[in-house]
Structure 1
Amino acid sequence: MPGLLVPSPPIQAGWVTEPTIASVEATLQQHFPGRQITVDFFSQGAYNKLFQVKIENSPPQLIRVSLPVDPMYKTLSEVATLKAVDSITSKYGTIPVPKVSLFDFERKSPLHYEWILMNRLDGMTLHNAWPLLNIVQKAAGVRQIAFFMASLFQTRFRHIGNLYPATCFPLESPVPISGTVGPGRIVSVPFFKGTRAQSPERGPFKNSTCWIHTRLDLQLQDASDIISNYHRQHGQGAITWLEQENALRTMTLISDLRLLIEAIIPDNPEETVLHHEDMHANNILADEAGKITGIVDWECVSALPLWKACSFPKFLYDPPRHDGVSLDASKVRANDRHLRDEFLHQMEILSPEWIKIYWRTQLIRDLDFAVDNCHNVARHAHISRWIFALRNRGEIPSLFASIYDL
């Protein structure tokens, strides 16, 4: 694959041209000549559009058409990740993920975008299934998710980054490879939003310290740009005085967080595992009885440190809520706690190592949360109070738990 080192520039704005049903059909016709193809719009995300595809004599499929926000790398890593996870789920007999049948990262088809064709999994979103389920059915689904996460936890890597086919590695700096895939350059929103896709430091990172410092560097650059532009415009441009003040506050928090990194996180090589950070209820599929039938949206899933993977899936700390559904608030909170307790209980049974790391590394996860949110004005006060408590060695409530009322 000689072209891997020279991908086309990333897109900074939205869709330059809209992918159409006709362009999807024309693209697929090149791969399935002479067969009847029917395409319908299915859904869309921040960086992609999904179309349902029916190809003559084939089961229903989905084609994900993606903005080239991180050209080539995002598609290659998603394909490698799906194949790796499919291998793990097949081995352990756990929840399925989409199987890739075709993909294209070159943008030379009638679509002019990168795309992946995969099978469509059965079921509705867990978000839609949630109000139909009783607490026993919900707990059974939680146990399924626990088994899935425990299965992923068994396959280890030695760098932080996204997975790529082993054939890519002669073109990249050498890293240890497990089987046919290994971690390379990271693909995640903090690293490609805006102009960040051109950032020279994209990993793979040897440990948490390198990874977190690099993320803070990106936050610092954004804050510095805001302040510089404000002064260049003499306060008369698009950037307001308040935005400049918030950027200054962000820079102060970044300085404080850098000191905490050195105190909290050892600067040693460490193992990593695949971790789906965005496992919310719309990315989990279930049947009407609550049985989990699939997990989707693997486009920015990376191999991350063990402490990061030892955490609640998103749907358990930010559970589905439905307008118009009248429930007793205290009962809802009690049920949420019960499901989180059930998850931890299952993880303790399935992976004693996982649960030990979970209890031992809450402070690191809080620090990681602060790093992710130090630019967020709504979180500034929370983060400042948390840092103050750490410095004064008083009682230190979990930053993450206080935000989500866990």
Structure 2
Amino acid sequence: MTLTPSHRSSLAFGLRWESKLFGPVPAWAATPNIATIEALSRQHLGADNLSVEFLAGGAFNKVYLITVPSNNILGPKFYVFRVTLPVEPFYKTASEVATLRLLRQCTSLPVPEVFAYDCTTENELGFEWIIMEKIPGVPLEELWPLMSLEDKKIVVERLGQFSKELREKCKFNAIGSLYQRTELSEGDLKVTVATDYNDFVIGPIVNSFFFIGKRKLLIKRDRGPYRNDQAYLLALMKVEQEDKKLLLKLTSDKRAASIQKAKDEYSESDEDEDDDDELAEDVPEIQETIQQLREILPSIFKDMQTEEFVLRHHDLNRSNVMVDYMTLEITGIIDWECITTVPAWEDTYPKMLRGEDMEEEPEPLAFGDTDVSRVERWEKWENTKLRKIFDQAAGSGANNDKDACDKRGFRQRLNWLEISTKIVKDWIIEYEERKREQGC
């Protein structure tokens, strides 16, 4: 069945935005009805006797545990019912389902099986939802402090092997998100890029940079797919510019009828308008900084030809790696929402392994030592060792040449535009000085 995305309205049921230190974050304006979750679970799992309980909540989701009793020796069956906020209506759910299905079809990565889902809010629950397999085991983060370095090396080596498999088996010709062809509207299909997997295409990107904040669903966004990294970076900067243009309109003429209509939609949250007024004062500086980034972009992203892109889990931290409590075998990798294809320079170490190198071994930690300074030094040294293990298994070197580092640096500075333009400008100055010294 083709699901037409009902994403045109910015008045998203259940979604509001809260002001935090580093910007607005999504929050729940309505709580999913657990009785409706039970009814949907019975319908799609074919089980009359089951129970549902709240399990956890994340940035965009609420997760419920479904337990289906059984009389056989294997015991009850467990599933996860995940409800998601409409931060990127239709596309976030549709792309996550497609990503999980492609991974199960084409790789050996242990990812959850999807049993049922709805990419729209046009259902009894009023939210998008997925029913998927509950991966057995415990999050790696629960065991990590108790593990020896040798045990950690075994887990990291396996993650490196998974990374290598993703690079070898999941290659694409564009930057964007994966979709099942039959899920997309005719309009979306016109811009998609074909893949080597008949049922799947690369379509509009689902990236938090394009939807975090209460204005971004109201502006025109070029969400790809993109044939090269220059086009990708230009789209990121453009959405930031358009977001700030709308901010100026909403704060400078609140009485105009056309602006007030957008304002009514925009003010679904309880955020104080003072935050917007303060940010609006910084808009000229932000726009100037974006222009400076645009000027150096061609020197960093030189290749305008079609490249080869890979699928990468950008949020591979210890909470998203499930392991067997006794054997430490990886039983699953979870949280594949907002996962996209990326250029090679973004395919680096898992989030859990990033940091500065430290070659000199510090004094080993005594059992139960919680001194922050000593723990940080030990973890930095450990991660230096573990990155080498990952490199050997992944066969990549994690893209640490200077060109790749400059590209990542450029991309990361876009995230700092609202926080500190000084940090961004200092990086630009450092980059330009280094290029002059190199005679470039």
TM-score (structure 2 length as normaliser)? 0.78
- What residue is the counterpart of 1:256 in the other structure? 292
Which structure 2 residues correspond to residues 210-289 of structure 1 after superposition, within 5 A?
Answer: 210-232=231-253, 238=274, 242-265=278-301, 266-288=303-325
- What residue is the counterpart of 1:4 in the other structure? 4
Give the Cα separation in 2 of the matches to 1:53 and 1:241: 45
Q: Choose the corresponding residue for 2:345, options 307, 319, 331.
A: 307
How far did residue 361 of structure 1 move?
1.1
For the 8 Å contact 1:69–1:192, the answer to whether it is kept is yes
For the 8 Å contact 2:4–2:184, the answer to whether it is kept is no
Q: Choose the corresponding residue for 1:183, options 184, 202, 225.
A: 202
Give the Cα separation in 1 of the matches to 2:231 and 2:149: 42
Distance 1:372 1:268, change over 3 A: farther
When the two chains are superposed, the root-mean-square deviation of aligned CA atoms in Å is: 2.9
How far did residue 333 of structure 1 move?
2.5
Q: What amino acid is aligned across from residue 84 of structure 1 in structure 2?
A: L
Specify every segment of 5 or more residues in structure 2 that has no aligned partner in the other structure, as ranges: 17-26, 71-75, 255-272, 357-367
Specify every segment of 5 or more residues in structure 1 that has no aligned partner in the other structure, as ranges: 397-406
* 2:381 is the alignment partner of 1:367: no
Number of residues paired by the alignment?
A: 381
Q: Choose the corresponding residue for 2:230, options 206, 209, 212.
A: 209
Give the Cα separation in 2 of the matches to 1:395 and 1:316: 33
Give the Cα separation in 2 of the matches to 1:345 and 1:370: 29
The 3-state SS of whatever aligns with 1:262 is helix
- What residue is the counterpart of 1:196 in the other structure? 216
TM-score (structure 1 length as normaliser)? 0.84
Give the Cα separation in 2 of the matches to 1:181 and 1:374: 35
For the 8 Å contact 2:2–2:184, the answer to whether it is kept is no
Q: What amino acid is aligned across from residue 9 of structure 1 in structure 2?
A: S
- What residue is the counterpart of 1:400 in the other structure? none
Q: Choose the corresponding residue for 2:422, options 369, 378, 381.
A: 381
Give the Cα separation in 2 of the matches to 1:331 and 1:325: 8
The 3-state SS of whatever aligns with 1:60 is strand
How far did residue 287 of structure 1 move?
3.4
Distance 1:347 1:87, change over 3 A: farther
Q: What amino acid is aligned across from residue 141 of structure 1 in structure 2?
A: V
Distance 1:241 1:301, change over 3 A: closer
Which structure 2 residues correspond to residues 305-384 of structure 1 after superposition, within 5 A?
Answer: 305-309=343-347, 311-317=348-354, 326-327=370-371, 329-330=373-374, 332-351=376-395, 354-355=396-397, 357-359=399-401, 360-377=403-420, 380-384=421-425
Q: Choose the corresponding residue for 1:30, options 39, 43, 54.
A: 43
Distance 1:344 1:247, change over 3 A: farther
Q: Choose the corresponding residue for 1:46, options 56, 59, 62.
A: 59
- What residue is the counterpart of 1:115 in the other structure? 129
- What residue is the counterpart of 1:59 in the other structure? 77
For the 8 Å contact 2:175–2:340, the answer to whether it is kept is yes
Give the Cα separation in 1 of the matches to 2:318 and 2:145: 12
Give the Cα separation in 1 of the matches to 2:390 and 2:324: 22
Give the Cα separation in 1 of the matches to 2:276 and 2:204: 36
The 3-state SS of whatever aligns with 2:173 is coil
Q: Choose the corresponding residue for 1:74, options 92, 114, 128.
A: 92
Give the Cα separation in 2 of the matches to 1:168 and 1:40: 30
Q: What amino acid is aligned across from residue 63 of structure 2 in structure 1?
A: L
Give the Cα separation in 1 of the matches to 2:435 and 2:378: 29
How far did residue 215 of structure 1 move?
0.9
How far did residue 209 of structure 1 move?
0.9
Distance 1:130 1:345, change over 3 A: closer
Give the Cα separation in 2 of the matches to 1:88 and 1:33: 28
Give the Cα separation in 2 of the matches to 1:361 and 1:304: 13
Give the Cα separation in 2 of the matches to 1:106 and 1:242: 35
Distance 1:2 1:23, change over 3 A: closer
Distance 1:296 1:325, change over 3 A: farther
For the 8 Å contact 2:194–2:200, the answer to whether it is kept is no
After superposition, the C-alpha distances for 1:287-311 in whole angstroms (9 at most, x for unaligned) are: 34544322111111011112111x1
Give the Cα separation in 1 of the matches to 2:372 and 2:425: 34
* 2:171 is the alignment partner of 1:156: yes
Give the Cα separation in 1 of the matches to 2:120 and 2:251: 39
For the 8 Å contact 1:59–1:119, the answer to whether it is kept is no
Give the Cα separation in 1 of the matches to 2:120 and 2:277: 43
